[in-house]
Structure 1
Amino acid sequence: MAAPTLDILGIGNAILDVQARAEEAFLVAQGMERGAMTLIDTARAQAIYEAMGPGVESSGGSAGNTCAVAAAMGARVGFLGKVAEDALGEVFAHDIQAAGVSFPTPKLKGGAPTARCLILVTPDGQRTMNTYLGACVEFGEADVDEAMVASAAVTYLEGYLFDPPQAQAAFRRAAAVAHQNGRQVSMTLSDPFCVGRHREAFRAFVARQTDILFANEAEIMSLYETDSFEDAVAAVRAEVKLAALTRSEKGSVVVSGDATHEVMAEPTRVVDSTGAGDAYAAGFLAALTSGHALPECGRWGSVAAAECISHFGARPQTDLKALLAR
């Protein structure tokens, strides 16, 4: 088997993130569910965008953020996701490539516009997301660059992309190609509401095609329909080779076979929780593909997540390599 030329290949929703600060009253006035990710249509996206305060725009989406953070930590990274042939699509492509991530997916012509996620961050750092998927939903099997999948040590799949049937088919194709080439498949559950919408399909994909699973406490408990984190840990241990489960300020739990590693959270001040789980996955996978032991992988994840939530925006603003060396 040839050595991988990529450490991580992310596949997910190619979304331009627009982040702005907001008070609780704004969420109430807009009828938003605090802390949730809500799918919206074109008209709703325009209305929220016009009502928001000044925002910061960057290439985003869950897997896109993971890829950018992993690249900042020294990993060799690629990303597959669908944008439109429009201005926002150009911004996305330029931004993610400038972050050191290869992005070869052909742009959609003549269809829906590039996706955007309108993120409102309240003073306590909680983020509420309103997502217009646009061109994202057109990602399908034909967009799976099989050569890139075959060349990547880990193909990392974003649960948010699981909604459209053609995306689920793309996931299954990518997993098949990865495994045929002796590579690993990783998946993040992304959101408890995603899990609730597609629990049966998620369960099947996790059990049959996932080697490395990322989830937070709420997501893993939703997947296995239990109110007990301990029961969820037991369930995932039986189905997946490796699971990294985040618990906010409680740190994370890394489960592998009979082994359990508890990893402390890095001390930080929460300014904006957007992208914390994405950054954790980036640090974990960057360490894993560099050959580090699982507790050290968890530490890399914690360092990346702590840096991410210490400022506004989902991209690192501090030298992550320097933070790891401390």
Structure 2
Amino acid sequence: MRVLVVGNASLSDLILKAGAAPGSSSVSALKDSPGTHGKWVPGGAATTIALAIRATGHEVQLCHPLAADPLQRSDLSDLTARGIDFGKSPLVEAEAGRCIIVYGGADRFAWSTPSDREVSVDAVEALEGVEYVVVAPVWSKLSQLIVAEANRRGIPCALVGEFATGADSVDWDTVIIDRAQREAAGRFATNTLVVTDGAAGSNVAVGGESFHVPARPVEVVDTTGAGDTYGGSFIGARLGGRGHREAAEYATEMAAKCCGGFGSWAAFTAAPAEPLKTELSKRDRVVGALWGTACGDAFGMPNSFLRQLPWLTEMMPGPPNSPYHAGYPAGRITDDTEQAIALTEALLAGFTPETVAAKLNEWFISVGGESSLAVGPSTKRAMLAFARGEDVREIGKFGVTNGSAMRVAPIGVVAGLKGLSTRAMIDLVEVSCTPTHFTSPAISGAGAIAGAIAAAIKGANWDDVIRAALEGAAEGETRGNWIYAPSIVERIRLALSIADRSATPKEFTETISLVVGTGEPCTESVPAAVAAAHYAKGNPALAIELCANARGDTDTTAAMAGGICGAFAGWTPLPDRWRALVGEVNKLDVALWATKLEQAAAL
């Protein structure tokens, strides 16, 4: 659905925290916060709402006065990267609005540059192609013109925050305001009313009935933008077909994420401070590794090797210009997951290079063989040689691409369930690589992914998961046909340093693509995948989103990072809708797949 978000407020915030509010003749000490270092963070009600709606998969356009000077719009590049369209935003000869926010103990103070409430646009032109309108503070001539025309056309409208004079004459589909705003507002017409109340949660009234949704517990860092995050998330979820209660619960979760970092966009751009803390059974971790692999594969599929790619926030179909996946439906897996399933069958059939080659060849034939676009270069070359009857131990001696690592999750799972040492695990990895990727860089790359997954299955903490990836890569470098390549161990270390110093997902994805690379060679995609998992601190959904938007071999890097993080955090952090779509589109029974690997580990 195409949504137009209308607003007119500040677009960046200087956030300061102090121990207490000072008196008129005293000074209060500042605490560490972005403002302490003179850093303005991007914000704004309309932009935050737009981000939240975009995160639920809708097409979003923003109608908001912007400074004509492009240098003053640089903070908005993250929104552009995420696919938010500024084409309907009027340019004005004024500086971008700014807001100063100061926390003094339990008190919060805010000062903002005044907005130009007389800016206007051609409402008919602004509403072209629009199916839903959301109005954000501040109420202005811009809001009045667009909402009046939308009401005339029958386009549903929602309001988030500030119920100003003039808003009470509008027919609203949804109104989302806080308790103080509700108490100050008069009578107005709306189909759905949501009243937020901070730590007390929110109340939703619709169709003569109402219900309460409690707030999520969170260690609050900054509440700036929490209401806007809630509002945009609720509206986006409703437009996506979720019920009112489910939408409110999702919005509550996103608002809590916002409060966990500094700035209005924290729910969508802040790097996790700590790894997910989980108490999981090994079964949960196994299922998580497999769902992480499959969901990563499907999520990254549309952007694979595109020159210009949109920022994906949901699973999408393969676009017409995709070199490999044009016409694939949303949620479709690719060779990454399919070969991992073939490797599972080989584990059950007496695990030798011959059984691996046979199972891979069955898959190769099923997807169209030599004519298929779904097969990587090393695997295709090896399978054609296998069909000619060449020696299985010779046909993979020049494969250096990431086919070895993309399918290796089952090896990591079995090694974790068996409690194998690094060397014993690499013995299995070497067998899996022999028919197609029997080279030192390919085995090293596969060893890194398998090592991380095995450690996570064993219940290791995050630092030990990363250490296991490095150890697996180091042992793998000693195996197979030696071919010159940069050290995957050292490239993982480089990639990890990029993850540690990247402040936002956009900074991470751009830097990792430019410096480390995200292409087919194991020396690029494996370090990138491990670094994405590290940036996400074990959160599979975030790691997958990062890889899918980092250019290059997006489905493979997302599958590898998803497998690592799924093994660490389990399957529950992966959205239900992702797992349902991937399961349905591919007729994929992950529970059965996990059981087969448990059986293989018992052999």
2:158 & 2:207 partners in 1: Cα distance?
16
Q: Which of 87, 92, 115 is residue 108 of structure 1 equivalent to?
A: 92
Which stretches in structure 2 are left out of the alignment for 5+ residues? Answer: 27-34, 273-540, 546-571, 577-603
Tell me the residue number matched to 2:40: 57
1:249 & 1:87 partners in 2: Cα distance?
39
1:139 & 1:182 partners in 2: Cα distance?
24
1:324 & 1:242 partners in 2: Cα distance?
29
Letter of the 2:6 counterpart: I
Tell me by how many angstroms 1:289 deviates: 0.6
Please identify runs of 4+ aligned residues in structure 1 that moved more than 6 A: none
Tell me the residue number matched to 1:229: none
Q: Which of 221, 236, 242 is residue 292 of structure 1 equivalent to?
A: 242
Tell me the residue number matched to 2:212: 262
Tell me the residue number matched to 1:275: 225
CA deviations on 1:228-265 (whole Å, 9 max, x unpaired) are xxxxxxx66xx321111111122111111211122121
Percent identical pairs in the alignment equals 22
Distance 1:99 1:182, change over 3 A: same
Aligned residues: 267
Q: Is 2:141 the partner of 1:172?
A: no
Tell me by how many angstroms 1:313 deviates: 1.6
1:265 & 1:259 partners in 2: Cα distance?
20
Distance 1:26 1:221, change over 3 A: closer
1:324 & 1:183 partners in 2: Cα distance?
34
Q: Which of 130, 134, 139 is residue 152 of structure 1 equivalent to?
A: 130
Using the size of structure 1 for normalisation, the TM-score is 0.72
Q: Which of 170, 174, 182 is residue 208 of structure 1 equivalent to?
A: 170
1:113 & 1:304 partners in 2: Cα distance?
31
Contact between 2:43 and 2:225, CA under 8 Å: does it hold in 1? no
Tell me by how many angstroms 1:29 deviates: 5.6
Larger radius of gyration: 2
Q: Is 2:138 the partner of 1:161?
A: yes
Give 3-state SS (helix, strand or coil) of 1:100's partner.
coil
Letter of the 2:222 counterpart: D
Deviates more, 1:61-70 or 1:280-289: 61-70
Tell me the residue number matched to 2:111: 130
Contact between 2:223 and 2:259, CA under 8 Å: does it hold in 1? yes
Tell me by how many angstroms 1:12 deviates: 0.7
Deviates more, 1:13-22 or 1:244-253: 13-22
Which stretches in structure 1 are left out of the alignment for 5+ residues? Answer: 32-51, 225-234
Contact between 1:15 and 1:59, CA under 8 Å: does it hold in 2? no
Contact between 2:194 and 2:202, CA under 8 Å: does it hold in 1? yes
Tell me the residue number matched to 1:96: 79
Contact between 2:158 and 2:173, CA under 8 Å: does it hold in 1? yes
Tell me the residue number matched to 1:19: 14
Tell me the residue number matched to 1:325: 575
Tell me by how many angstroms 1:95 deviates: 3.7
1:11 & 1:28 partners in 2: Cα distance?
39
Contact between 1:244 and 1:253, CA under 8 Å: does it hold in 2? yes
1:151 & 1:128 partners in 2: Cα distance?
40
CA deviations on 1:13-57 (whole Å, 9 max, x unpaired) are 2523123323155665699xxxxxxxxxxxxxxxxxxxx632443
2:84 & 2:245 partners in 1: Cα distance?
26
Tell me the residue number matched to 2:102: 120
Tell me by how many angstroms 1:215 deviates: 0.5
Larger relative contact order (CA 8 Å, sep ≥ 6) = 1
Distance 1:177 1:66, change over 3 A: same
Deviates more, 1:52-61 or 1:305-314: 52-61
1:270 & 1:294 partners in 2: Cα distance?
26
Tell me the residue number matched to 1:221: 183
More strand by share: 1
Tell me the residue number matched to 2:261: 311
Contact between 1:59 and 1:91, CA under 8 Å: does it hold in 2? no
Q: Is 2:226 the partner of 1:246?
A: no
2:14 & 2:172 partners in 1: Cα distance?
32
More helix by share: 2
Coordinate RMSD, CA, aligned: 2.9
Distance 1:93 1:313, change over 3 A: closer
